[in-house]
Amino acid sequence: MELLLGKPVADHISEQLIKEVEGFNNKPKLAIVRLGENPNDMAYERGAKSRCEKIGIDVDVHEFSSDISQEELIDMLRDLNNDEKVNGILVFRPLPKHIDEDIIKHEVRYDKDVDCFNPINFGKLYEGDSKGFVPCTAVAVMEILKYYDIDAMGKNVAIIGASNVIGKPVSFLLLNKRATITVCHSKTKNTSQITSNSDIIVSACGVAKMVNESYVSEGAIVIDVGINVDENGKLCGDVDFENVKDIASMITPVPRGVGSVTTSILASHVVKAYKMHNNC
Amino acid sequence: MELLLGKPVADHISEQLIKEVEGFNNKPKLAIVRLGENPNDMAYERGAKSRCEKIGIDVDVHEFSSDISQEELIDMLRDLNNDEKVNGILVFRPLPKHIDEDIIKHEVRYDKDVDCFNPINFGKLYEGDSKGFVPCTAVAVMEILKYYDIDAMGKNVAIIGASNVIGKPVSFLLLNKRATITVCHSKTKNTSQITSNSDIIVSACGVAKMVNESYVSEGAIVIDVGINVDENGKLCGDVDFENVKDIASMITPVPRGVGSVTTSILASHVVKAYKMHNNC
């Protein structure tokens, strides 16, 4: 079994970005908007900041109390939309309950929307328009496949989970690559049978160690997007790694798999936005 | 085998719309934009006009020569966007080659975009936002399922074809209904095996009579969205009706199936737009 580690993928993407950014007249800039101090947000922010700065991308963190009013948040986003120096905007979600996400998502200018919050970018994904932005984790899955020379065209791919941020966009990206996709979820009656007939399994269901030997056929490729905690309080994926490691031909581990690639995708989106804004 | 005819579905939808429109202060209005005299466009236009007028919807046809300039077309669409009396805009596609569809599609105001041309409406479909507009034929499939009491939740549904106007939106609508969807297309290696394991088959591949007994299991439900011409020049679907009629439990015929429902969906979208514009 080949372990599909995320680090070489992230490093490869970062190296390419560093070269690109060196040729720019100015440093690209990412604005991160964080309301409150959710530890998950802050951990991701640290990783994103470190990754971006290594690449030569400036990061401004706009931190506000979680009781900021909707009007203040909108005013701030409009300032960022209009600020020519800002190329990408990332707003941590979910937003506090008194703020209407359905209004805010339209306030992130679509060509700075590096985390795919604005539905215009979902529309571009749907149409297969490469000028849009796709949720970073979904792109991370595709970049892992690309880096390890896994061609999805014509393959049977089962996606477990149908969320807007992972299951749906991964399904679309794979469909655009001409894979035959099956989307399974909590109402699916025979998930293990479907995944057993699949060449590639992408799991993003958020159930610790659900995907065991009954789900995986000999030689299948398993991409584990889950981030869960097991019965001993240890970080684990959706896949029961020990149970399937002698069956699958390739597996992304958790940690050190898909999650390690996400911030490099975010950085690549900021660079892409910079190039669109500067016609280069 | 039960024949799933389109007419009762269309009649049922029309009756409900007639009652709704009677309660309105003004008549809803659909603007149809047609460039040139494509016979298919003109046939659909006649059907749409007749259906809408029976329901109490005004239809204005804006007919132009196919050599209209892109600027003139945009000016005209902006006039329709700004015209308070116009609730829905339908632009026949494909557009002539000298006109850039990628520009024009953004010029149809999204809340008048009754035929789902503007990518904003694809974004709404993606998110499962019911305020958007979905391509009419895809909705027609869903209305047939609803009328004949076919609950897709938890069912295995194979969709043959991945076009932006049918395969993709039907897949999304079914996923939003919590069906387990598999999207097959020309690169799929085992379509007949996948469809044989499906409870419902939706075919929109445009290959005359492809779906025969090797694709359909005993008792499956078959929705045929194809409109093709057979070896004798007769209209037919993607399904070999004679070959599968004793195997499937339900089939939509072609003609008299899905195609008969489409104009009533278009009318329902104009009424939906009218209600949004008038807050009723």
What is the full per-residue pLDDT of chain A (280 aa) written as tens digits? Answer: 999 999 999 999 999 999 999 999 999 999 999 999 999 999 999 999 999 999 999 999 999 999 999 999 999 999 999 999 999 999 999 999 999 999 999 999 999 999 999 999 999 998 888 999 999 999 999 999 999 999 999 999 999 999 999 999 999 999 999 999 999 999 999 999 999 999 999 999 999 999 999 999 999 999 999 999 999 999 999 999 999 999 999 999 999 999 999 999 999 999 999 999 999 8
pLDDT at residue A203, as a whole number: 98
B151 — pLDDT class (breaks 50, 70, 90)? very high
pLDDT at residue A34, as a whole number: 97
Task: Report the distance separating Cα B222 and Cα A40, nearest Å.
Answer: 46
pLDDT tens, position by position, B100-125: 999 999 999 999 999 999 999 999 99
Q: What is the DSSP letter of B4?
A: -
Statement to judge: residues A36 and A104 lie in one domain: yes
pLDDT at residue A102, as a whole number: 92
DSSP B121-168: HHHHHHHT-TTS---HHHHHHHHHHHHTT---TT-EEEEE---TTTHH
Statement to judge: residues A112 and A154 lie in one domain: no
Statement to judge: residues B249 and B144 lie in one domain: yes
Q: How many CB atoms lie within 10 A of CB A50?
A: 12
pLDDT for B224 beyond 90: yes
State pTM to two decimals: 0.94
Statement to judge: residues B98 and B177 lie in one domain: no
Residue B129 forms part of a structural domain:
no
Residue A111 in contact with residue A102, Cβ under 8 Å?
A: no
pLDDT for B127 beyond 90: no
CATH of the domain at A169: 3.40.50.720
Residue A128 in contact with residue A138, Cβ under 8 Å?
A: no
B275 — pLDDT class (breaks 50, 70, 90)? very high
pLDDT at residue A233, as a whole number: 93
Residue B71 forms part of a structural domain:
yes
Residue B91 forms part of a structural domain:
yes
**CB < 8 Å to A179, chain B:** 187
pLDDT tens, position by position, B167-186: 999 999 999 999 999 999 99
Statement to judge: residues B55 and B106 lie in one domain: yes
Q: Which two tokens stand for residue B237?
A: 């679907």
Last residue of one domain, picked from the residues A87, A117, A147: A117
Residue among B163, B162, B92 at smallest CA distance from A181 = B162
Task: Report the distance separating Cα A208 and Cα B122, nearest Å.
Answer: 33
**CB < 8 Å to A181, chain B:** 181-183
Please answer yes or no on whether B181 and A180 come within 8 Å at the CB atom: no
pLDDT at residue B215, as a whole number: 98
**CB < 8 Å to A180, chain B:** 182-185, 187-189, 194
pLDDT at residue A127, as a whole number: 87
Task: Report the distance separating Cα B264 and Cα B13, nearest Å.
Answer: 7
Instruction: Identify any residues that bridge with B224 across adjacent strands, giving them in sequence order.
Output: B203
Please answer yes or no on whether B181 and A183 come within 8 Å at the CB atom: yes
**CB < 8 Å to B181, chain A:** 181-183
Please answer yes or no on whether A125 and B126 come within 8 Å at the CB atom: yes
Last residue of one domain, picked from the residues A86, A117, A148: A117
Residue among B32, B135, B161, B141 at smallest CA distance from B88 = B32
Residue B269 forms part of a structural domain:
no
Statement to judge: residues B110 and B141 lie in one domain: no
Contacts of B19 (CB under 8 A, 6+ apart): none
Q: How many CB atoms lie within 10 A of CB B47?
A: 16
Q: Does B190 touch chain A (CB under 8 A)?
A: yes
Residue B52 forms part of a structural domain:
yes
ipTM over 0.90: yes
For B245-250, what is the mean pLDDT? Answer: 98
Residue A59 forms part of a structural domain:
yes
Q: Which two tokens stand for residue A101?
A: 């996400």
Handedness of CA A171, A172, A173, A179 (dihedral sign): positive
Statement to judge: residues B70 and B142 lie in one domain: no
pLDDT for B41 beyond 90: yes
Please answer yes or no on whether A126 and B120 come within 8 Å at the CB atom: no
Statement to judge: residues A230 and A171 lie in one domain: yes
pLDDT at residue A205, as a whole number: 97
Q: What is the DSSP letter of B255?
A: S
Task: Report the distance separating Cα B132 and Cα B113, nearest Å.
Answer: 9
Q: Which two tokens stand for residue B195?
A: 């469809």
Statement to judge: residues A84 and A197 lie in one domain: no
Separation in Å, CA of A182 to nearest CA in chain B:
4
Statement to judge: residues B163 and B65 lie in one domain: no
Q: Does A177 touch chain B (CB under 8 A)?
A: no
* Residue span of the structural domain in which B64 resides: 25-115
Out of B123, B127, B188, closest to residue A180 by CB = B188
Q: Does A181 touch chain B (CB under 8 A)?
A: yes
Statement to judge: residues A194 and A83 lie in one domain: no
Give Cα B62 distance to the centre of its chain: 21
pLDDT at residue B280, as a whole number: 87
Residue A197 forms part of a structural domain:
yes
Q: Which two tokens stand for residue B279?
A: 């807050």
Residue A24 in contact with residue A274, Cβ under 8 Å?
A: yes
* Plot region of A116 (φ>0 → left; ψ -120 to 50 → alpha; else → beta): left
pLDDT for B128 beyond 90: no
pLDDT at residue A280, as a whole number: 87
**CB < 8 Å to A186, chain B:** 178
Q: Which two tokens stand for residue A150?
A: 């896994």
CA angle, B40 as apex, B60 and B102 as ends, to 5°?
75
CATH of the domain at B70: 3.40.50.10860
Interface mutation vs chain A, best among B110, B173, B175, B180, most A CBs within 10 Å: B180
Task: Report the distance separating Cα A172 and Cα A127, nearest Å.
Answer: 9
* Plot region of A39 (φ>0 → left; ψ -120 to 50 → alpha; else → beta): alpha
Residue A273 forms part of a structural domain:
no
Statement to judge: residues B149 and B107 lie in one domain: no
Domains held by chain A: number: 2
